[in-house]
Amino acid sequence: MRTAFIVGNGPSLIQTDLDLLIGMDSFACNNIHLIYPKTKWRPTYYVRSEAVDHLLSRSSWEESVKVHLDMGILCYMSGYFKDDAGGYDNYRELKHCWHYMLNYDDKDVPSEWHMPWICQFGGSLIVAMQLALNLGYERLALVGCDLGYRDDKPSHFDKSYEHGQEQPAMYANKNNIWAHLCGINYHARRHLPYNVINCTIGGDLHLYPRARMEDIL
């Protein structure tokens, strides 16, 4: 069974030995580069999903996006990045909807994914999960997917990651849960297998069976 490790940006990464993933297929997203000084591991794929009004500053582009392109890591990113990244052989444009702009309580929020067209609701981690399935991986092992966003308190593995929430933490948490439920609904309604295991140390994501990352390896 082809397994992909989906690495989030939660605080549990501080306790996670990512070097155990060296040689394994893994997806990571957003500001994962902040952990590179502490690990030799690098992801197989980098995912950056942006909505049109969530523009990156030039410094953020250099630090979090261009660094992965320069490493030669296969980068799947929104078409927003095409002007800057299009000249790289390892840039792949993500074909996705714009449900990122919605909240779980909006009337037009999706109730399930719509693969192979990727649903952007829930952000880059959810996009990475769908991308892995589209690429043929049969089992997803989640690492550092803590959930549990908190107002005015650290919610990621590195304090420099925090720049304040664009909306209350309640929305971030409920939107993420809804996005995971969209994946569960997609597979359940089509009677398709959906093999997702949560290998995160602790955290508030309780929709999937739990396992130790070491046991999956």
pLDDT band at 22; cut points 50, 70, 90: very high
Q: What tokens appear for 92 in the block?
A: 């792949």
Q: Return the minimum-mean-pLDDT range out of 63-67, 71-75, 107-111, 174-178.
A: 63-67
Average pLDDT over residues 53-58: 53
User: What CA–CA distance (Å, rounded) separates 116 from 99?
Assistant: 15
> What residues are paired with 75 via a beta bridge?
46, 91
Share of the chain above pLDDT 70, in %: 91
The pLDDT-based confidence of 106 (bands split at 50, 70, 90) is: very high
Average per-residue pLDDT for the chain = 89
Domains and CATH numbers, the chain: 3-216 (3.90.1480)
- Has residue 53 got a pLDDT over 50? no
Give the pTM.
Answer: 0.93
| pLDDT top residue among 162 and 214 | 214
With a cut of 80, say whether residue 198 has pLDDT above it. Answer: yes
Average pLDDT over residues 113-139: 95
195 is written with which tokens?
A: 């093999």
Distance, in Å, from the CA atom of 30 to the CA atom of 122, rounded to the nearest integer, reads 13
Long-range contacts from 209-216, C-beta under 8 angstroms, 24+ separation: 211/141, 213/5, 213/16, 213/20, 213/21, 213/141, 213/143, 214/20, 216/3, 216/141
* Structure tokens that stand for 105 in this block: 């309580």
